[in-house]
Structure 1
Amino acid sequence: MLRHRFQPGRLVAGVFLIVAGVVYAGDAGGLWETPWFVLIPLVVGGLCTAGAVGVVARAADRRR
């Protein structure tokens, strides 16, 4: 496998999208009741957090 740079923003985005998928799957499977508007702030907040982490990681990488 080719080596590549670690990108923590993508990791954070992936974690938030996995959590959103688990919440949706739990609601679809009948394990719990989730209102429809819960997933929108979860995904948008996760993408904003991932963007902020990406900017901080890029700034830290440029300083090296």
Structure 2
Amino acid sequence: MRRHEFQPGRLIAGLALLTAGVLYLLDSTGAADVPWFLVIPITMGGLSLAALAGMTTYAVRRDRRDRISESRDG
């Protein structure tokens, strides 16, 4: 399998949506009494954190790539 770069934003988004889905599943089966308005902040907060992590990762990788190209050029 070909290696790929780690993308923490996608991991955070997946975990947030998985958490919201599990909470919805627990509520629908009657195993837990989850208020309906709890899922929206979990989803939006998780997606916001994922966006922040994705932008940070992109900025760090771009800076590292620019430093390597500058050291090769001059």
TM over 0.5: yes
* CA distance in structure 2 between the aligned counterparts of 1:60 and 1:15, rounded to whole angstroms: 23
Residue type matched to 1:15 in 2? Answer: L
Alignment match, 1:49: 49
Alignment match, 2:37: 37
Higher relative contact order (CA 8 A, sep 6+): 1
* TM-score of the pair, normalised by structure 1: 0.91
Structure 1 stretches of at least 4 aligned residues deviating more than 3 Å after TM superposition: none
Alignment match, 1:16: 16
Structure number with bigger Rg: 2
CA RMSD of aligned residues (A): 0.9
Shift of 1:6: 1.7
Shift of 1:36: 1.0
* TM-score of the pair, normalised by structure 2: 0.80
List runs of 5+ in structure 1 lacking aligned partners: none
List runs of 5+ in structure 2 lacking aligned partners: 65-74
